[in-house]
Structure 1
Amino acid sequence: MKKIVLFVILLLAKTLHSQSANQDLLIDQNEKDYLRNFVFPLHSYEPEIGFKEDSLVFNRFFSNVKIIGLGEASHGSSEIFKIKDKLTRYILQRNHVGIFSIEASMPNSFLLNEYIINGNKTGKEYLMNIKSWIYQTDEILSMIEWMKQTNDKNTQKIRFTGFDNTTYIGSMVQLKILLDKYKIPIDDLLVLSQNLSDFNKLPKNQLLEKKRIQSESLTRLNKIKAFSSSISDEDDKSWFLQHLTLLNQYLYNSYLDRNRYMAENILWLKNKYPESVFVLWAHNEHIKKTGEETGKFLKEKLKDDYINCGTLFYEGFHSVVDLKDENVKPINLEKNSKNSLEELLNSFDIPIFILDLKNIKKENNKLAQKLLTKINYRTVGAAVHKKDFKSGNISEDFDYIIFIKKSTASKLLSKY
């Protein structure tokens, strides 16, 4: 009798332990089996390894893109840059080139366009002019060298652009070049340059002085704008006016404004090159379709012509700025939260794959509820954060996700 009682107790304990373990699982076997239908393994994140094989996967989702946002969970992951490079090469080759645009200063990025089309210096020299460590890496240098080689072989050209507005210097330089070209006086530009320099140095709490300089700068901008009638070349004129727009954006820039401005700059480029396919690179947060983000503004204007693909990673290292000393250094990724999207995706035991959120959302099956409601996922930027994870509805944020199991830190170019 004692043996029977002991057996029942052990069986009950085992059953309770099994139930507890199952409750701890992010998804059960039925959910996993269903979601596997939307998981598409990739051969490699390396741009030149398995390109043909991975292109067959890309064909399922990106063969007819018109404008695509490619996101990144961190600005400092080598593998994220590489897989985005690979997908970018696929899209540009399939469409016989197009427009590549990044979350960086529009005028400074234009210098890289000069390199991949006409450059006679080194790619590194041009890349260092972009004034952002995020893109001053071996991974990005490899991509722009591929773009230059592709342009050298073809009459149709890839164009390299930026859509951000975080500095005024590049636009001031370009305006000076255009005013000199058309022999237009630069007096107002010199005054504006001093205004912007003073504005840039002001502490955030100097609101009255900021408003005074903003008002005076707008007066100068309007005076300079009047000279556009003296610019005969239409391309020069359009860039002249756009640089004035960028300076206006610089004067009135908050996080919300910045996202709207970036969308407006992208739409300006889209209007300028209406027949071109567009590949946009930015942080996951900027390209997503929810919140007051760039992707949301693009979705409102472009409807289904805009699609996006975020990237996530599970473990390893990435490069970030340490705000204590302003140095860029590799750090270990924060451990994933127990119920995070990263843990769920890692459970498929596939090192790199595309998750088709678009069709998961379309089918709206109860077996996919974990991906159709809010879930924690990693979002870090260029600096060390106190908290790497946030909660969001991933199927509302993105059309597709590329998941990478292991990340290494991006490899920064030497300044010498």
Structure 2
Amino acid sequence: MDQDTGFLTQGVYPLQNVRDLDPIINEIGNSQYVLIGEASHGTSEYYTWRADLSKRLIQEKGFTLIAVEGDWPSSYSLNQYVQGRQGGTAQQALQSFRRWPTWMWANQEVASFSEWLRQYNQPLAQNQKVGFYGMDVYSMWESLEEVRNYMQTADPAVAQLAQAALNCLGPYNRDEQQYAQATARGTSCAPQMQALIQAVQAHRAKQPAAHEGAFNAEQNALVAVNAERYYTQMVRSGSESWNVRDRHMQETINRLVAEKGAGAKIIVWAHNTHVGDARYTDMASSGMVNVGQLIREQHAQKGVYLVGFGSYEGQVIASNTWGGSTRVMTVPQAKAGSWEQILHRYSPENKLLLMRELQNIPEAMESRGHRAIGVTYNPGFESGNYVPTILPRRYDAFLYIDKTKALSPL
């Protein structure tokens, strides 16, 4: 230990096996919302530790919902598999994730967890089974098609409204960028989306309370409305489009809890940039909010627990460009003065940090860089990958993995 890391006098615990998660489980207590992050979308250990923590929350704390940073239609297909409503294997079910970057969900780590979840659910009554759902906003076309296909039988007049929205989007060849640019020239399919969601909501209001098909259709209509808003903002304001997306995630979390029953407990899987409270980063000065902040602000009394991840060096699955080819990249050693470098210098082992214990240490409450790697990454230009962060406020617990391996895409 050196003088730069000497302030870490408490709150640091070993992280070698699943029993080492005990301090987190104890702190979570009866919390209803547990959000678990990742410092990249392509690191094996983030996925496996997140799965291990989720298994314990399901088995020991009665969590019955998982919401992930993935598309609703693709995730719903996997949900049907883990709940035992469709056959095959997890690997086959994960083929529903066709949107780039497919590796984010169609990987061996998620397949293994999905098989475990299916086995866990097997003996349970339907209302006790754990569900797996997507909370992202990108699936505008796919969600409209899901609404249309469902309503063709359930309510043909609503199916026609879904088709009208698809017809409005027709000239853009399923290219979100094309549509976004068209909105800057005054074009908009928002009226068609609005007419559709109102009709879907009216349809759902006539169904029995727990009518899953109607709930699924309504969620897909909501995705389409918010996706249209997201792409419209994308060419106008990066921070506002971000906020549309994270508010949609918050709304989806709330809808899932309400649908399952007001006391239902939910686990959220998303990148650190969504999970770690934005108020304790430089996102706040840009007017950006995120899911961790919004859920904390709304549900603090019901218990909200945020878990972050980070690492010093290793490997990651990513691409040089959006939509580009996927490859294993080397993650260089963390830059001097960053949280990851300080934790490595403290000791080059995996460790767990409990933030409550660090909040009384002035040096721990300083803002330092905290690495965030997206689906596009260039290891040679890392300076922009560090988010200034007050770590003990941004999260409740932090899992530090000193050296990582790349995810295993299917």
Shorter chain as denominator, the TM-score bin is 0.7 to 0.9
SS at match of 1:104: coil
Task: For residues 76-110 of structure 1, give each alpha carbon's deviation from its aligned partner in whole angstroms, at most 9, with x where no partner exists.
Answer: 00111111111111111112451111001122211
Contact 2:40 2:375 in 1 (8 A): yes
Asked whether the 8 Å contact 1:182–1:231 carries over to 2, the reply is: no
Distance in 1 of aligned mates of 2:204 and 2:65: 26
Correspondent of 1:329 among 303, 327, 330: 327
Does the alignment pair 1:86 with 2:49?
no
Aligned residue among 161, 179, 190 for 2:163: 190
Moved more, 257-266 or 154-163: 154-163
Counterpart of 1:375, as a letter, is R
Does 2:122 align with 1:124? no
The SS at the match of 2:220 is helix
Shift in alpha-carbon separation, 1:221–1:321, aligned structure 2, 3 A: same
Which 5+ residue runs of structure 2 have no aligned equivalent? 231-240, 279-283
254, 269, 286: which one pairs with 1:281?
269
CA distance in 2, matches of 1:219, 1:176: 13
**Partner in structure 1 of residue 281 of structure 2:** none
CA RMSD of aligned residues (A): 2.4
- Hey, what does 1:144 align to over in structure 2? 114
Q: Report the equivalent of 2:31.
A: 65
1:400-415 to 2 correspondence within 5 Å?
A: 400-413=397-410
Give the alignment partner of residue 339 of structure 1, picking from 334, 337, 340. 337
Report if aligned partners of 1:98, 1:278 keep a CA contact under 8 Å in 2: yes
Calculate the TM-score normalised by the size of structure 2. 0.84
Determine the structure 2 residue equivalent to 1:397. Answer: 394
142 and 203 in structure 1: CA distance in 2 versus 1, 3 angstrom threshold: same
Q: Aligned-pair distance for 1:255? A: 1.5
Aligned to 2:4: 26
Q: Structure 2: how far apart are the matches of 1:325 and 1:205?
A: 19
CA distance in 1, matches of 2:188, 2:124: 50
- State how many pairs are aligned: 374
Q: Which structure 1 residue ranges, 4+ long, deviate > 6 Å from structure 2?
A: none
Question: Residue 161 of structure 2 contacts residue 192 of structure 2 at CA under 8 Å; is this kept in 1?
Answer: no
Structure 1 counterpart of 2:153, from 170, 177, 181: 181
Classify 1:86/1:210 alpha carbon distance in 2 versus 1 (closer, same or farther; 3 Å).
Answer: farther
The AA in structure 2 aligned to 1:401 is F
Runs of 5+ consecutive residues of structure 1 not aligned to the other structure: 1-20, 45-50
Contact 1:195 1:217 in 2 (8 A): no
The superposition leaves residues 378-398 of structure 1 with CA deviations (integer Å, 9 ceiling, x where unpaired) of: 111111154322212112211
Could you say if the C-alpha distance between residues 40 and 192 of structure 1 is closer, same or farther in structure 2, counting changes exceeding 3 Å? Answer: same
How many angstroms apart in 1 are the aligned matches of 2:185 and 2:197?
18
Say which is worse superposed, 221-230 or 268-277, in terms of deviation.
221-230
Query: Cα distance, 1:179 vs. partner?
Result: 1.3
Tell me which amino acid in the other structure corresponds to 1:26: D
Q: Which amino acid aligns with 1:72?
A: E
Query: How far does residue 57 in structure 1 lie from its aligned partner after superposition?
Result: 3.7
Name which one, 1 or 2, has greater alpha-carbon Rg. Answer: 1
Residue 276 of structure 2 contacts residue 395 of structure 2 at CA under 8 Å; is this kept in 1? yes
Task: Answer whether contact 1:334 1:388 (CA < 8 A) is retained.
Answer: no
Within a 5 Å distance, the mapping from 1:1-400 to structure 2 comes to 25-28=3-6, 31-32=7-8, 34=9, 37-44=10-17, 51=18, 53-117=19-83, 118-131=85-98, 132-155=102-125, 156-185=128-157, 186-198=159-171, 200-201=174-175, 202=178, 204-209=180-185, 211-223=187-199, 225-228=201-204, 231=207, 234-235=210-211, 236-253=213-230, 254-273=241-260, 274-290=262-278, 291=284, 292-304=289-301, 305-323=303-321, 326-349=324-347, 351-361=349-359, 364-366=360-362, 369=363, 371-385=364-378, 386=381, 387-400=384-397
Query: Given that residues 168 and 247 in structure 1 are in contact (C-alpha distance below 8 angstroms), is that contact kept between their aligned partners in structure 2?
Result: yes
Percent identity between matched residues is 18
Query: Comparing 284-293 with 61-70, which one deviates more in the overlay?
Result: 61-70
CA distance in 2 between partners of 1:85 and 1:140 (Å): 8
Could you tell me how far 1:208 is from its partner in structure 2? 4.8
- The letter for the 2-side match of 1:261 is H
Paired amino acid for 2:156: I
Task: Supply the distance in 2 between the matched residues of 1:240 and 1:277 (Cα, whole angstroms).
Answer: 23
Structure 1 pair 79–228 and aligned structure 2 pair: CA distance change class (3 A) = closer
CA distance in 2 between counterparts of 1:221 and 1:98 reads 27
- Whether contact under 8 Å (2:72, 2:139) holds in the other structure is no
